[in-house]
Structure 1
Amino acid sequence: MGQLAPTGPVYQAGTLSGNPVATAAGLATLERCTPEVYATLDRVAHTIADGVATELDRAGVPHCIQWAGPMFSVFFREGPVLSYADAQGQDTAAFTAFFQAMLAQGVHLPPSAFECWFVSAAHDDRAVDHVLAALPAAVRAITDSSARVRA
């Protein structure tokens, strides 16, 4: 254990990080995940990601959405992201404008352009509608900031 930070050279972090209470809560959650819960996660994730894609397409903002189960990532670039170099090639300024506009409307996204979006069974129709309603203004924030950069 002496090799682990903060005293050692090995940095270790994780969602549960071996915390027994967090691990028990995670296990209890997984034990209650039914096929219906997974179907809800898929529906919610696709509804949100489709809404993001629709608004970005409408504004002509380059983007790519990639999936791993009900988790997805929105990259502000053309074409798929197959490597870290591809991810670095995205428009992080567009992400920042989008993120800040969503946050201002009460939608909390992952704070980095390199992270994936997670949904949960707690995202009911009202929460999804709130996210979808926030998208047009967030996309306008991208196009407005891009216009300022070009001017």
Structure 2
Amino acid sequence: DLTIFGKVMGGGFPAAAFGGRADVMSHLAPEGPVYQAGTLSGNPVATTAGLATLRLATDEVYDHLTSAGDTIKAAATEALTAAGVPHLVQSAGTMFSVFFTEGRDGAVRDFADASLTDATAYAAFFHAMLEAGVYLPPSAYEAWFLSSAHDERAVQTILDALPAAAAAAAQSQSRLQSSTKETPQ
């Protein structure tokens, strides 16, 4: 009945919009009795950014994002598998997450599944990627987002950094395992 958009429509600027079927929207003023206002309604900078975002959001851009996301997800899976790091890569469209866990049933569906994530291994992975010039979400529980700014060079930088970052995650796990082994008395 209604569609609501947040700051993504404004290229990151504080913008939001909603719309819907004519019969629903007709309840809003000035035609209907429901008044709607906001502190940023009609903000010229956010509105201009929103228009620019809509003009640039072409099928070609989304095709590129889908292709780049698929490439990165496959490369992350390959690198982490080769390094022996338990992981899951899950996605919704071009947004994806890399969880350092195998989950309870091969997927991360809820907080209990997400809490199985090896945050120490993710931290090692994150820092290795950062050292290679790739800034990922700093938390093991956040999603990765691609944008039109991720051109072929940026994607290649990510791909080049993945094997060493996966090795760093694996090394972190093996250090943790060896430090938790009981020593005989």
Give TM-score, length-normalised by structure 2: 0.69
Read off the aligned partner of 2:146 and give its amino acid letter. V
1:32-51 equivalences under 5 Å are 32-51=56-75
* Matched residue SS, 1:65: strand
* Matched residue SS, 1:72: strand
Aligned to 2:21: none
> After the TM superposition, which of the residue ranges 17-26 and 93-102 deviates more from structure 2?
17-26
Matched, 1:142 2:166: no
Q: CA deviation at 1:16?
A: 4.0
Q: CA deviation at 1:44?
A: 0.7
Distance 1:118 1:125 in 2: 16
RMSD: 1.9
Matched, 1:89 2:116: yes
Give the helix-richer structure, 1 or 2.
1
Read off the aligned partner of 1:59 and give its amino acid letter. A
Q: CA deviation at 1:120?
A: 1.2
Runs of 4+ in 1 over 4 A off after TM superposition: none
Aligned to 2:90: 66
Aligned to 1:57: 81
Q: CA deviation at 1:110?
A: 0.9
Distance 1:23 1:110 in 2: 28
Read off the aligned partner of 1:82 and give its amino acid letter. R
Aligned to 1:114: 141
Deviations 1:58-84 (A, max 9, x none): 112111111111111111111211112
Which structure ranks higher in relative contact order (CA pairs < 8 Å, sequence separation ≥ 6)? 1
Q: Which runs of 5+ in 2 are unaligned?
A: 1-6, 16-39, 179-185
How many corresponding residue pairs? 139
Q: Which runs of 5+ in 1 are unaligned?
A: 1-13
* Matched residue SS, 2:154: helix
Aligned to 1:11: none
Q: CA deviation at 1:23?
A: 5.1
Percent identity over paired residues: 51
